[in-house]
């Protein structure tokens, strides 16, 4: 041992002694010396140093030392606990959780560590994880009231309804004096429609806490909903009123409480009851009217509100509400009367009240009165005064001309604020015509769409006697012109939601403008490419002289001078209010990439997607970086009415690789590439001018243009900047002028990078540069196909060819393309030098490529594109492949369960020559879920994947109705259902455009959102099918409260497909009457299997841990299923516990995972069953395990058609199942044994062991043929 090591050890000893005496200051110094003297970093010394720093409260230093210690030696669980506590103190709960989890997994599982973990999980709002940790804690101390309370709280914040009920009952059994638990239990039972059980729970809570009015009101409502205890319900409500001091129910009755909860139907009923007892209460009349208003009972709302204002005429807001009720009935004149009174009686009338007053007057054709009212929208604005005070003063011709030129100057500036200012000055001078020109020009360019601008425009129209135009301008002062009576605060606090709803208002309320074209290129970052070429062609065509050309820009967009100086051009900021307005109203839309995810083409709009080149690098589903990054591109193509494809390869790639085959309803034209026209038509004069602009002398030297593409994914771009600098330095040495341009997606990465060659400025178009380039250097860019048309040589600098091919992928081998391939900078220099001297070296190869990729490039592509899009010219349209396949749209969640297995089996049994299968899913919900991604990767290759991207596109009122439906499970009126449905019809169109489907299939049949979405595609769908994989009413009453919502939506479907005949009959009997469903729509289609795959997979190697578990066993039972209540594994374990008293070496294997894993593990440990029961978790291949099992057993309480029973039959296993409807449908014909659904029944089944005999054999081929025929008959409508 050297001297440094001896000193280190001595200091460690000293430090320990000092620490024992509590002298942490000197101990810290000693440990610091020990660390410093250690040649190789000493983990123990670092930990002790960190501990001393911890004791001194130096947590940041302690963290650094402890992290270093754990980094050197991570084997000590206690060190991880200390590290976790430091992270906690520094508010880094995520890191703390990781430390605690590691320590608990590696060390002894003690209560203190579990408490630390649970606390961190709760603070980090990981309530589901916290509930599992706290449940484990209860195993150490099941009498701890604090732990129990924390456990219940975590479960209430994270668990599904059934689990909340289970845990609350468990907690109440330990402590029956907590009213909050009984209340939560009542809430859970209410979600499941179990109102009697809810009432019992609320009643217990009420007995404990009689002074809580909310409990009494909930009790009263649940008794009323149960329908059998009306007297008791009334008494409970009266008890709530008696103790209430918060909701004013003594004055207003229980309705006031229900109103505070947004429960408008019971509120309306209660207010009407209270009015019977107090008929002269003005406020009760008002509240009854308001409740009827919110339940869309407009006649009743009008009646009660009319009575309210009679009793209290001074209440301005009540008159406003009466006006709303009348307006919703189309009673515009009487609505205007009410709004007028509201405005006149209000000290500070809201602008919206004035707007509604004027709106109703114009709807009642009282234009003059409407104009007088609208003038009050901006009472403090001076524009009305200016008009009234303007006299007959005339300006001199010089002054008039000066003002006109000043206005033209402002127009050229494309500055809406300046235009507004100039127009206002002209209005003040009484120059109404000039002012009108200014305001009209301003409002079509004002990205903010300021209401005051439209108000002054309206005032100017009025001054000129153009009253109808004035009305339209006044109406434009609000982006939300429709009457809904909804408080907007909760919806408009999020910018994205406001903007989405505003866009819907524009879609729904504004007309399509037939002379407006909106252009967008590269998300507004540039004004170039195909859209710019089409714009310039239109600009020069007298046929379109009256068109307004709207160019989308971003703050950094370079605007070409010819665009900026065009008075028919409006520049609009992407993402602005005006952008959304034009997107909703322009008849013609042109884009070379994509519009935002909210964009939905309306009827009457035409959308041309020009794309931006012939693809060499892979696109769409072929892209290997990212996951479904092409989703919005596919969506945009489905919105398009017209597409350009310069060659067949591009057409095939865009249609097939973006997965829209059979769905795209627009047309495709082969007109060439409009953007290439300026390259091919460039004159010597324009080329010379460009060379001069770029500082290229007329010295006879050639121009070499280097334009590489981008690297990375759409979410994360990358570029090798050092290589670029070095390569450009080598290229600069060539006897040529070298120009460089980065791809627009990587320009930002190269910002401020010093490059030795000339960088083409942003304001110069790439296709102008191609005209002067003598040699093009590129890599995998589509630019190479454009440059083909020039006949000049190309060099492909593919220094990262192998990596790029593997990461992104290419459609062609680089060697097959018409140019020289260089894999290194030395090769590049040689290839470019050869090209400068010899030009194109393989003329035949070049010409073949031109014929394939540039067949239409003659400099007239833009003219053909304009005729195709604006005049519907047919001469260059290309036919799309039309097949006779039955198009099926299917949604399924891909959760790792039996429904997903059934879904995948179905897909693999369908003939892709007969069916076109479109799979709809939400990529964001899959991307972070490995289990679901694994299922996604099992989809057959022929399945077309359409990912829903973006948020639901709904109006303000639709959002309100949807939210109410989500919380209450029903609509208050047919009108609300229509509003709800319209929101989902628009969402369907947002995703699919005008695509048409033979059948849509909601294969899960549980989630209300997806059920509504798949059921809403009315005119685009011939046949709507929803699956029922279980006994659905029982699923609702025991587990899934949201199924009440689903049942309200099922009537939108044409067929309700259960997965067995017995289950279908049961669903029909239990649902048709309760939810008014047509019994003839209840049909069935048995689950399909993949028997060949089952047999093949059964040959795989069995996992070692399972082989270890089953050794020395006399009898092996297998069961498979999600660890959830309906599978009743606890019942099976209880039976197996009894069974091994006789058959001591019997083993039970359970494959599966789920929310009851912890509870089942606890049962096994508590009863010392580890040698006989193994919960093996989810396994990717259960079939190999079936080969070692003696029999299969299923203990479920309810099933639709158990897939695992069918799979066991395929494997020839003796099968035992509880005698429930689903299992009876599989085994009832003698294929297996059915036993009583109880512990004793399962004991009896286990006793028989291997001796279970089938009375008939399972003919899998016949079964498959029948099941497939059933499915096909439903999707084909028979």
Q: What is the mean pLDDT of residues 313-329?
A: 97
Q: How far apart are CA 540 and CA 674, in angstroms?
A: 15
Q: Are residues 842 and 893 in the same domain?
A: no
Distance CA 160, CA 179 (A): 21
Burial profile 616-639: b = 16 or more Cβ within 10 angstroms, e = fewer = bbbbbbbbeeebbbbbbbbbbbbb
Start-to-end C-alpha separation, the chain: 90
| Residues 896, 834 share a domain | no
> What residues contact residue 240 under an 8 Å CB cut-off, 6+ apart?
213, 214, 215, 216, 217, 219, 220, 249, 254, 257
Contact (Cβ atoms closer than 8 angstroms) between residue 836 and residue 735: yes
754 within some domain: yes
Q: Above 80 in pLDDT, residue 1070?
A: yes
355 or 841: whose pLDDT is higher?
A: 355
Residue 1198: phi and psi, rounded to 5, are: -155, 145
- My answer on whether 893 and 1033 are in the same domain is yes
Does 923 fall in a domain? yes
Question: What are the tokens at 955?
Answer: 């109006």
Is residue 979 included in any domain, yes or no?
no
Statement to judge: residues 918 and 1051 lie in one domain? yes
Task: Report how far residue 1177's alpha carbon sits from residue 257's, in angstroms, rounded to the nearest whole number.
Answer: 48
Each residue's pLDDT tens digit, 496-508:
999 999 999 999 9
Partners of 1216 in the β-ladder: 1193, 1233
924, 1028: one domain: yes
Q: How confident is the model at residue 122 (pLDDT cuts 50, 70, 90)?
A: very high
- Give the pLDDT confidence of 150-179 residue by residue, as tens digits: 999 999 999 999 999 999 999 999 999 999
Q: Quick one: CA torsion of 639, 644, 650, 651, rounded to 10 degrees?
A: 60
Q: What is the predicted pLDDT for the residue at 718?
A: 64
Q: Note whether 744 and 826 are same-domain residues.
A: yes
Average pLDDT, the chain: 93
Is 608 within 8 Å of 640 (Cβ atoms)?
yes
Please identify, among 675, 708, 740, the residue that sits at the C-terminal boundary of a domain.
Answer: 675
pLDDT tens track for 259-318: 999 999 999 999 999 999 999 999 999 999 999 999 999 999 999 999 999 999 999 999
> Could you tell me if 751 and 800 lie in one domain?
yes
How high is the pLDDT of residue 1055? 97
Contact call for residues 924 and 950 (beta carbons, < 8 A) = no
What is the predicted pLDDT for the residue at 649? 97
Query: Which residues in 98-110 are b (16+ Cβ under 10 Å) and which e?
Result: bbbbbbbeeeeee
Q: pLDDT for 638-676, tens place per residue?
A: 999 999 999 999 999 999 999 999 999 999 999 999 999
Q: Is residue 1010 part of a domain?
A: yes
Number of folded domains in the chain?
5
What phi and psi, each to the nearest 5 degrees, are found at residue 732? Answer: -60, -25
Tally of CA atoms within 13 A in the half-sphere of 996 that contains its CB: 8
What strands lie across the sheet with 703-706, from one edge to the other? Answer: 758-759, 737-740, 703-706, 775-778, 794-797, 820-822
The CATH number that applies at residue 423 is 1.25.40.10
CATH number assigned to the domain comprising residue 1233: 3.40.50.2000
Are 711 and 804 in the same domain? yes
1027 in a domain, yes or no? Answer: yes
User: Which H or E run includes 519?
Assistant: strand 513-520
**The tokens of 286 are what?**
């008002």
Lowest mean pLDDT among 41-45, 256-260, 843-847: 41-45
1199 in the same domain as 1124: yes
Given a cut of 80, whether residue 727 has pLDDT beyond it is: yes
- Average pLDDT over every residue of 46-61: 93
* Same domain assignment for residues 414 and 468: yes
Calpha distance 783→615 (Å, rounded)? 9
Spatial neighbors of 23 by CB under 8 A, at least 6 apart, are none
Lowest mean pLDDT among 111-115, 740-744, 800-804: 740-744
What mean pLDDT is predicted for residues 235-252? Answer: 96
Q: Domain range for residue 731?
A: 682-858
Same domain, 1140 and 1033: no
Distances (CA, A) of 979 to 121, 466, 976: 41, 36, 5
The owner of tokens 């680089």 is 814
d(CA 302, CA 329): 9
Contact 818, 845 (CB under 8 A): yes
Residue 878 lies in a domain: no
Specify the DSSP class assigned to residue 56.
Answer: T
CA–centroid distance for 1221 within its chain = 37
- What is the average per-residue pLDDT within 1088-1115? 94
Domain annotation covers residue 295:
no
Q: Residue 715: which pLDDT band, with cuts at 50, 70 and 90?
A: low
Picking from 659, 675, 691, the residue at the C-terminal end of a domain is: 675
Do residues 313 and 282 touch, judged by C-beta distance below 8 A? no
CA dihedral 1000, 1005, 1008, 1013 (to 10 degrees): -10
* CATH code of the domain covering residue 548: 3.40.50.11820
State the average pLDDT over residues 726-737: 90
Strands 737-740 and 758-759: parallel
Closest CA to 1188 of 1215, 1213, 1152: 1213
CA angle at 471 for the pair 469 and 477, rounded to the nearest 5°: 110
Distances (CA, A) of 959 to 103, 598, 810, 952: 46, 15, 44, 9
Lowest mean pLDDT among 40-44, 201-205, 754-758, 1183-1187: 754-758
Q: Does 335 fall in a domain? A: no
Out of 651, 675, 699, pick the residue that ends a domain.
675
Q: How confident is the model at residue 752 (pLDDT cuts 50, 70, 90)?
A: low
pLDDT per residue as tens digits for the range 1210-1219: 999 999 999 9
- Six token digits for residue 774: 């003598």
- Output helix, strand, coil percentages for the chain, rounded to the nearest 5: 55, 10, 35
> Do 1116 and 1236 belong to one domain?
yes
Percent of all residues in the chain with a pLDDT value above 90, rounded to a whole number? 83
């Amino acid at each position: 041992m050297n001297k440094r090591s001896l000193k280190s050890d001595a200091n460690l000893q000293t430090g320990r002694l000092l620490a024992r005496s509590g002298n942490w200051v000197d101990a810290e110094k000693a440990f610091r010396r020990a660390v410093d003297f250690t040649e190789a970093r000493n983990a123990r010394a670092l930990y002790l140093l960190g501990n001393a720093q911890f004791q001194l409260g130096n947590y940041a230093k302690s963290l650094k030392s402890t992290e270093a210690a754990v980094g050197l030696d991570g084997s000590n669980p206690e060190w991880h606990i200390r590290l976790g506590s430091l992270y906690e103190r520094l508010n880094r709960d995520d890191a703390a959780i990781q430390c605690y989890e590691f320590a608990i997994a590696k060390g002894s599982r003690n209560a203190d560590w579990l408490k630390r973990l649970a606390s961190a999980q709760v603070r980090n709002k990981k309530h589901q994880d916290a509930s599992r940790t706290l449940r484990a804690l209860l195993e150490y101390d099941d009498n701890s009231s604090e732990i129990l309370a924390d456990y219940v709280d975590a479960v209430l914040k994270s668990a599904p309804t059934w689990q909340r009920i289970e845990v609350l009952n468990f907690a109440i059994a330990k402590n029956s004096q907590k009213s909050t638990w009984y209340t939560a239990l009542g809430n859970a039972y209410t979600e499941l429609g179990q109102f009697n059980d809810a009432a019992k729970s609320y009643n217990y809570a009420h007995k404990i806490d009689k002074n809580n009015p909310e409990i009494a009101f909930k009790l009263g409502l649940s008794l009323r909903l149960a329908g059998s205890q009306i007297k008791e319900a009334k008494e409970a409500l009266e008890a709530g009123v008696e103790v209430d001091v918060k909701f004013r129910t003594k004055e207003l009755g229980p309705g006031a409480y229900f109103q505070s909860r947004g429960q408008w139907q019971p509120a309306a009923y209660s207010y009407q009851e209270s009015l019977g007892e107090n008929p002269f209460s003005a406020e009760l009349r008002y509240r009854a009217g308001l409740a009827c208003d919110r339940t869309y009972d407009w006649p009743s709302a009008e009646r009660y509100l009319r009575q309210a204002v009679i009793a209290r005429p001074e209440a301005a807001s009540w008159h406003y509400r009466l006006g709303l009720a009348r307006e919703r009935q189309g009673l515009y004149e009487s609505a205007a009367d009410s709004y007028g009174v509201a405005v006149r009686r209000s000290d500070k009338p809201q602008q919206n009240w004035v707007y509604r007053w004027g709106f109703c007057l114009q709807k009642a054709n009282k234009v003059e009165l409407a104009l007088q009212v609208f003038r009050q929208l901006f009472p403090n604005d001076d524009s009305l005064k200016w008009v009234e005070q303007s006299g007959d003063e005339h300006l001199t011709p010089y002054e008039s001309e000066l003002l006109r030129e000043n206005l033209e100057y402002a127009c050229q500036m494309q500055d809406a604020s300046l235009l507004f200012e100039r127009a206002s000055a002209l209005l003040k001078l009484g120059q109404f015509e000039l002012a009108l020109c200014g305001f009209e020009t301003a409002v079509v360019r004002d990205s903010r769409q300021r209401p005051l601008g439209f108000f002054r425009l309206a005032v100017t129209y009025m001054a000129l006697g153009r009253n109808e135009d004035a009305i339209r301008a006044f109406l434009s002062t609000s982006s939300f012109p429709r009457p809904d009576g909804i408080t907007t605060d909760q919806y408009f606090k999020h910018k994205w939601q406001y903007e989405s709803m505003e866009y819907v208002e524009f879609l729904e309320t504004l007309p399509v403008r037939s002379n407006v074209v909106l252009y967008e290129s590269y998300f507004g970052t540039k004004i170039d490419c195909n859209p710019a070429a089409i714009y310039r062609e239109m600009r020069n065509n007298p046929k379109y002289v009256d068109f307004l050309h709207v160019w989308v820009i971003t703050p950094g967009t370079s605007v070409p001078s010819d665009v900026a100086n065009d008075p028919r051009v409006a520049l609009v900021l992407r993402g602005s209010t005006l952008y959304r307005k034009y997107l909703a109203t322009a008849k013609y839309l042109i884009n070379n990439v994509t519009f935002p995810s909210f964009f939905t083409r309306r009827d009457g709009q035409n959308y041309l997607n020009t794309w931006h080149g012939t693809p060499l690098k892979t696109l769409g589903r072929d892209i290997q970086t990212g996951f479904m990054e092409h989703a919005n591109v596919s969506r945009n193509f489905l919105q398009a009415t017209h597409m350009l494809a310069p060659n067949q390869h591009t057409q095939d790639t865009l249609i097939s690789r973006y997965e829209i085959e059979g769905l795209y309803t627009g047309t495709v034209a082969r007109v060439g590439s409009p953007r290439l026209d300026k390259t091919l038509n460039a004159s010597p004069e324009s080329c010379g001018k460009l060379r001069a602009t770029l500082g290229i002398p007329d010295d006879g030297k050639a121009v070499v243009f280097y334009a590489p593409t981008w690297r990375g994914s759409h979410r994360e771009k990358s570029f090798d900047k050092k290589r670029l600098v070095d390569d450009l330095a080598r290229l600069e040495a060539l006897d040529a002028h070298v120009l460089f341009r980065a791809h627009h997606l990587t320009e930002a990465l190269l910002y401020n990078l010093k490059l030795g060659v000339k960088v083409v400025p942003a304001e110069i178009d790439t296709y102008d540069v191609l005209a002067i380039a003598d040699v093009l250097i590129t890599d995998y860019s589509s630019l190479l196909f454009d440059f083909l048309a020039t006949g000049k040589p190309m060099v492909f600098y593919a220094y990262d060819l192998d990596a790029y091919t593997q990461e992104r992928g290419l459609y062609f081998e680089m060697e097959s393309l018409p140019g020289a391939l260089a894999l290194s900078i030395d090769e590049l220099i040689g290839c470019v030098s050869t090209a400068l001297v010899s030009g194109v070296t393989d003329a035949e190869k070049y010409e073949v490529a031109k014929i394939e990729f540039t067949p239409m490039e003659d400099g007239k592509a833009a003219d053909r594109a304009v005729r195709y899009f604006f005049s519907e010219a047919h001469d260059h349209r290309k036919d799309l492949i039309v097949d006779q396949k039955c198009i099926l749209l299917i949604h399924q969640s891909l959760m790792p369960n039996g429904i997903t297995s059934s879904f995948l089996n179905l897909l693999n049994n369908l003939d892709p020559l007969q069916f076109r299968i479109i799979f709809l899913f939400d990529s964001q919900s899959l991307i972070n879920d490995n289990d679901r991604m694994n299922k996604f990767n099992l989809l057959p290759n022929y399945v077309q994947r359409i990912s829903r991207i973006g948020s639901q596109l709904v109006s303000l009122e639709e959002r309100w109705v949807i939210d109410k439906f989500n919380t209450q499970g029903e609509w208050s009126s047919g009108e609300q259902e229509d509003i709800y449905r319209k929101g989902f019809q628009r969402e369907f169109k947002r995703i699919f455009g005008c695509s048409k489907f033979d059948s849509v299939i909601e294969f899960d049949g549980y989630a209300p959102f997806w059920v509504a979405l798949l059921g809403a595609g009315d005119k685009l769908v011939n046949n709507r099918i929803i699956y029922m994989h279980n006994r659905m009413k029982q699923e609702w009453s025991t587990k899934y409260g949201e199924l009440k919502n689903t049942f309200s939506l099922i009537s939108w479907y044409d067929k309700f497909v259960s997965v067995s005949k017995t289950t279908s009959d049961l669903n029909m009997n239990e649902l048709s009457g309760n939810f008014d469903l047509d019994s003839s729509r209840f049909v069935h289609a048995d689950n399909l299997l993949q028997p060949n795959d089952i047999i093949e997979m059964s040959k795989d190697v069995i996992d070692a841990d399972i082989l270890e578990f089953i050794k020395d066993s006399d009898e092996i039972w297998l069961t498979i299923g999600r660890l959830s209540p309906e599978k009743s594994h606890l019942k099976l374990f209880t039976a197996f516990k009894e069974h091994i008293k006789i058959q001591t070496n019997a083993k039970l294997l359970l494959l599966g995972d789920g929310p009851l894993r912890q509870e089942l593990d606890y049962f096994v440990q508590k009863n010392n069953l580890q040698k006989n029961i193994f919960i093996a978790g989810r396994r990717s291949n259960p079939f190999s395990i079936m080969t070692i099992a003696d029999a299969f057993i299923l203990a479920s309480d309810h099933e639709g058609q158990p897939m695992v029973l069918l799979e066991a039959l395929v494997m020839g296993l003796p099968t035992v199942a509880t005698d429930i409807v689903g299992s009876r449908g599989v085994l009832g014909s003698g294929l297996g044994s059915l036993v009583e659904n109880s512990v004793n029944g399962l004991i009896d089944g286990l006793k028989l062991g291997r001796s279970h005999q089938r009375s008939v054999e399972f003919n899998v081929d016949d079964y498959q043929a029948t099941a497939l025929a059933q499915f096909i008959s439903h999707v084909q409508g028979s």
